[in-house]
Amino acid sequence: MGDFVKGPVSGSLPEELARHLRLHRRIDTYTTVSQSFQSSRQRLDPRFRYARGILVDVFYDHFLACHWDRYSSRPLAEFAQDVYRGLQSCYPLLPESLQQQLPRMIEYDWLTSYRDQDVVLRVLQRLEDRLRNKFPLAEGYSEMIIHRSGLEADFADFMKELSAAIIYWD
């Protein structure tokens, strides 16, 4: 939901949903100061310019899904189903764009599908379309293949940093 809601977190949202939305935003903000995230950006071809951050964000989503069991004792499939149920339970409060996406998100199980490398390419293609082809995001997929080991090492460091930082947020 964090990618669909813009502006201040509404006081009309259920507290749990608002808390998760604020956490999502804190994580997004943390990436801007994370040395590990910046290291990943620098690994990518400079021709991707500002899009390197978008690419790394998608790559990190993939790595999180692939290595989920390192960060949670709860299976990813169980977590994903809880997320989908939570979003369905507050459907009328969701932005219209998320309401439209939610059925596909559930049907294709987007959260666990990120484990599949081919899904990363499809996500980049869709993002490129949404951004009206301003950046060649789909071409950036090859950067994940070329730099995978370094990117995954950066991701592991990022998760350590993030875990430590989260402790001080609430």
pLDDT tens across 100-113, in order? Answer: 999 999 999 999 99
Verdict on whether the full-model pTM lies above 0.85: yes
Residue 113 lies in a domain: yes
Number of structural domains found in the chain: 1
Helix (H) or strand (E) holding 92: none
Residue 138 lies in a domain: yes
- Asked if residue 57 lies in contact with residue 154, where contact means CB atoms within 8 angstroms, the answer is no
Cα distances from 43 to residues 25, 39, 147, 153, 168, in angstroms, run 25, 6, 7, 12, 30
Instruction: Residue 49: give the domain boundaries.
Output: 15-166
The whole-number pLDDT of residue 169 equals 58
Residue 4 lies in a domain: no
Neighbours of 15 (CB within 10 A): 8
Where does the pLDDT of residue 93 fall: very low under 50, low under 70, confident under 90, or very high at 90 and above? confident
Residue 7 lies in a domain: no
- Asked if residue 140 lies in contact with residue 124, where contact means CB atoms within 8 angstroms, the answer is yes
